[in-house]
Amino acid sequence: MKTVLIIAGSDPGAGAGLQQDLKTATLLGTYGLTVPTALTVQNTRGVTAVHAVAPEVVTAQLEAVLSDFPVHAIKIGMLATAATVRAVAAVLRGYLGGGRGDLHPLGAEETGPPGEEPPLSWPLPPLILDPVLAAGQGGELLEPAGVEAMVAELFPLTTILTPNVPEAARLTGMSIATAAELEEAARRLQARGPAWVLATGGHLPGDPVDVLTDGVNAWHLEGRRLAAPHHHGSGCLVATALAAHLAQGLSVPEAVTRARELAAEALLHGLPLGQGVGPVNPYAPFAREAARHEVLAALTEAGARLVREDISPLIPEVMSNLAYALPYARDPGDVAAFPGRILKTPAGTHIPLPPQFGASRHLAAIVLTATARRPELRAALNLRLVPGIEELAPLLHLKAASFDRGQEPPEVKAKEGGTLAWGVASVLDALEPWEPPPDIIYDRGEVGKEPMLRILGETPLQVVERALALKQALRAQGRL
């Protein structure tokens, strides 16, 4: 297993610093080695104190790790003081071969034959330097003398420098308001020692543009502005992802592409933890992929129950379907349903094919709309609207809601299936954040559109149980 040596401060909320770095390194399949440089007192509302680790302790930790473990990449984050910067730089220079001979990047198993002295010089593994100067919500994290020491002593050892706009502005003395100015700043920083600079443009107005340069070429990497109120630790995540990918042998451009993709998902699915700015969520894409078998299995079980209990009296003329989304679903391909739909036949309910991802565009639109607003709502089933269901729902402890087709915009009405997502969105958007979502959404239909009932839930089986409760109640009242 490849290793990443993480030299950074500690965040007790685990949204940034060593804790975020270690999570990211692990998720990307590398082994994180950690050397804390400072203990911060912080939460989602900000940093209130910083206690730097004594430089001699940082040195001792680094020497203990480097003399024993193979190290395939290094990530440096918060350093806090000039003394710590100089201590880290001194150890890494020794690691290059100018100092202690037992500090080398490839591990004891790669030093050569027993008894043979290691070479006088070793290539430094890829080093990613995240120039952490201040907390996102204010508060200095590197003293001014430390900034000067970092530029002088660590920039020349750096493979990729990853400043954001405020950091690039402070390090260059420039005012940065455009992608062109960010490129100029990145070029100036690269000229001071780093082999590459990835300047992240999330602080620029409009859609963000990151700039990657090797001093000769510069690439403007466009992104999409995300509604990401919970973004704590995004810079740490990017730098550590770069280190993990470089440790595994990817080129710099490949590593940058993958790190930015992970950052975009982690920002999009940031965690609303605490009372302030919550942490990014690097686990989102891994949770999505890990759930594929579980989603199909859950749909298979729920579908079998629909057939066994025979939901056919409630299946509409357009037939039914049952859909279930992966956690953090992105598009219809992340929503599974039954190809060919759930059918009403003379023999009862019939499901012709096992569930597949991307099998129902219409149900996927409903589920994606629901889960974007309430992440727990990942399952949906459509049934026909039987008169009297409205009165029955509260008796079954089911919350019901409907939408007004008269408010539907013409462009939505003209789009096939557009009403499906629009109706769900209009209901959920009208709720206060603290209000529970409805279990059932009615669509009374109109000319050419069959009245429909859509049951929402957290799992397919939960949705099916609600549907069967409605069926039994309607049958007991003689309405089916």
Which pLDDT belongs to residue 262? 97
Other beta carbons within 10 angstroms of residue 101's beta carbon come to 14
Asked if 10 and 51 count as a contact pair (C-beta separation under 8 A), the reply is: no
Verify that 66 and 95 share a domain, yes or no: yes
For residues 228 and 347, the model is more confident at 347
Verify that 332 and 270 share a domain, yes or no: no
φ, ψ for residue 46 (rounded to 5)? 140, 175
CA–CA separation, 121 vs 118, rounded Å?
8
Verify that 241 and 366 share a domain, yes or no: no
Range of the domain at 420: 291-476
pLDDT at 129 over 70: yes
Which pLDDT belongs to residue 400? 92
Residue 112: both structure tokens together: 């050569």
Last residue of a domain, one of 289, 314, 339: 289
Which pLDDT belongs to residue 98? 41
pLDDT in tens, 377-418: 999 999 999 887 778 888 899 999 988 776 767 776 666 666
Residue 192: both structure tokens together: 């001071």
Verify that 283 and 376 share a domain, yes or no: no
Confidence of residue 477 (pLDDT cuts 50, 70, 90): confident
Q: In what order do the strands lie in the sheet with 322-325?
A: 356-357, 335-337, 322-325, 379-384, 452-457, 440-443, 400-402
Confidence of residue 336 (pLDDT cuts 50, 70, 90): very high
pLDDT at 277 over 90: yes
pLDDT in tens, 301-324: 999 999 999 999 999 999 999 999
Which pLDDT belongs to residue 119? 40
Which pLDDT belongs to residue 138? 60
pLDDT at 259 over 50: yes
Verify that 258 and 305 share a domain, yes or no: no
pLDDT in tens, 417-437: 667 788 899 999 999 989 999
CA–CA separation, 414 vs 406, rounded Å?
14
Residue 288: both structure tokens together: 């999505």
Which pLDDT belongs to residue 444? 79
pLDDT at 106 over 60: no
Confidence of residue 152 (pLDDT cuts 50, 70, 90): very high
142-145, Cβ contacts within 8 angstroms, sequence gap of 24 or more: 142/78, 142/79, 142/80, 142/81, 142/85, 143/80, 143/81, 143/82, 145/81, 145/82
Task: Please state which of the ranges 53-57, 137-141, 172-176, 276-280 shows the lowest mean pLDDT.
Answer: 137-141
Average pLDDT over residues 247-274: 95
Asked if 293 and 300 count as a contact pair (C-beta separation under 8 A), the reply is: no
- Look at the chain and report how many structural domains it folds into: 2
Verify that 275 and 311 share a domain, yes or no: no
Average pLDDT over residues 163-171: 95
Last residue of a domain, one of 269, 289, 309: 289
Average pLDDT over residues 1-10: 97
Q: Write the CB contacts of 277 (distance below 8 Å, at least 6 apart in sequence).
A: 44, 45, 136, 137, 229, 230, 231, 232
Q: Which candidate, 187, 129, 133, places its Cα nearest to that of 160?
A: 129
Verify that 363 and 421 share a domain, yes or no: yes
Verify that 222 and 77 share a domain, yes or no: yes
Verify that 297 and 274 share a domain, yes or no: no
Verify that 234 and 338 share a domain, yes or no: no
CA–CA separation, 140 vs 38, rounded Å?
13
Which pLDDT belongs to residue 389? 78
Asked if 124 and 105 count as a contact pair (C-beta separation under 8 A), the reply is: yes
Three-state SS annotation for 213-273: ECCCCEEEEECCCCCCCCCECHHHHHHHHHHHHHHCCCCHHHHHHHHHHHHHHHHHCCCCC
Which pLDDT belongs to residue 414? 62
- Which residues make beta-bridge pairs with 73? 4
Verify that 352 and 408 share a domain, yes or no: yes
pLDDT at 180 over 80: yes
Asked if 250 and 31 count as a contact pair (C-beta separation under 8 A), the reply is: no
CATH of residue 351: 3.40.225.10
**0.85 exceeded by pTM:** yes
pLDDT at 11 over 80: yes
> Could you tell me what percent of the chain has a pLDDT over 70?
90
Which pLDDT belongs to residue 224? 85
pLDDT at 73 over 70: yes
The alpha carbon torsion through 287, 370, 446, 469 (nearest 10 deg) reads: 80
CA dihedral sign, ordered 124, 127, 131, 137: negative
Which pLDDT belongs to residue 118? 43
Residue 456: both structure tokens together: 């929402």
Q: Is 158 helix (H, G, I), strand (E, B) or coil?
A: coil
Which pLDDT belongs to residue 448? 67
How many angstroms separate the Cα of 349 from the Cα of each of 20, 337, 359, 385?
A: 49, 16, 18, 17
Verify that 85 and 135 share a domain, yes or no: yes
